[in-house]
Homo-oligomer: A and B are copies of this chain.
Amino acid sequence: MKVAILGATGETGTSILGALLDSTEPRYEITALVRKSSLEKPEALALKEKGINVVAADLSGPEDELARALDGINTVISAISATDLLAQIPLINAAQAAGVKRFLPCCFAPIIPPAGILGLRDIVKKKEQVINHIKKVKLPYTIVDIGYWYQLMLPRLPSGRVDYALPITLGGIPGDGNTPCAFTDLPDIGRWVARIIADPRTLNKMVFAYNTVLTMNQAYDLLEEASGEKIERNYISEAAVMEGVARAEANCPPADSFDYFEVVKYQYFNALGIRGYNTPEYARYLGYVDATELYPDMKVTTPEVYCERLLSGKATMIYQRLMSAAQ
């Protein structure tokens, strides 16, 4: 099956690319769509060395050129990391013109209501606008959301031994820490996607793929037990979270600035820690099908195994490029 990926070198794209390369049943023939100006960059050359077909795709160029780049492609996966997802619109039109059989818009995120909770989703990324455009042009689609990453789940330890992998932490526990939240190991995202795109049952569906459901207290317990260290629990009351949301939204920094993280942080505290949207139950309520029910045989990384990986120094630092850019 011929699959094209946009954003193959980002965090999510790397996960998806790795899993598609590993897949034997089905075997995927992969095309990475990259900017023309990036064709000779080390990242693109590294993709070529892995046997990936690297093709120039200019999202702001003519749509018929984009459509030619998608000729013969069965599935297009968008994992662009742009702050404005509307850049996907020409790709959607091109995919429709090229007869693409399934389009995965860039989602791969926690379960959040369509509007009014996470500015990153509705105001900045305009995710619903992208999905609505897909529906308007009748392009076959699958929406995949994956919960919150293990990689952003845990706090630092007093010893500092996990700092190497945790450039960003939330720095607190919203509410009483007992709200359930779905988590996924970043490398497993691709493994879920490799199953989902080969499955006719997921066509024109929203799919929620996640490894486990934990409360923040349970996540802290896990790391405490595995590390033998005691971690201070900085609970942030619901009132303080809502105050933080209001303050961050009132003084909203530009969405492409590093400070915007403050807005996202409080909105996430509210969405995931107080209101409890990022759960299998709420996903079902929104109309998602549950990947753990579709693929009961799927073996994924448990939070315990992730903790061990983190403590053994073998976890991967995420957002490396973002971090270097911010320094």
Contact = CB atoms under 8 A, between A and B. Distances in A.
Nearest to A288: B287
Nearest to A129: B115
A132 interface: yes
Interface in A97-148: 113-117, 128-129, 131-133, 135-136, 138, 140
Q: How many copies does the complex hold?
A: 2
Interface string A203-227: 0111000000000000000000000
Interface in A271-315: 282, 284-287
Nearest to A114: B132
A278 to B, nearest CB: 13
Specify which of A206, A282, A287 lies most central, judged by the most chain B CB atoms within 10 Å of its CB.
A287
A145 to B, nearest CB: 14
B287 A204 contact: yes
Specify which of A128, A132, A284 lies most central, judged by the most chain B CB atoms within 10 Å of its CB.
A132
A204 B128 CA distance: 19
B136 A116 contact: yes
Nearest to A204: B285
A183 B196 CA distance: 35
A114 to B, nearest CB: 5
A204 B136 CA distance: 23
A33 to B, nearest CB: 25
A5 to B, nearest CB: 24
Interface in A65-106: none
A131 B114 CA distance: 9
A312 B63 CA distance: 55
Nearest to A275: B138
B133 A285 contact: no
Nearest to A115: B132
A88 B132 CA distance: 23
Given A135-B286, A140-B285, 12 more contacts: A113-B132, A114-B128, A114-B132, A114-B135, A115-B132, A115-B133, A115-B136, A116-B132, A116-B136, A128-B128, A204-B284, A204-B287
24 contacts: A113-B132, A113-B135, A113-B136, A114-B131, A114-B132, A114-B135, A115-B129, A115-B132, A115-B133, A115-B136, A116-B132, A116-B136, A117-B136, A128-B128, A135-B285, A135-B286, A138-B282, A138-B285, A140-B285, A204-B285, A204-B287, A205-B287, A206-B287, A287-B287
Interface of A: 113-117, 128-129, 131-133, 135-136, 138, 140, 204-206, 282, 284-287
Closest 5 CB pairs of A and B: A115-B132, A113-B136, A114-B132, A113-B135, A204-B285
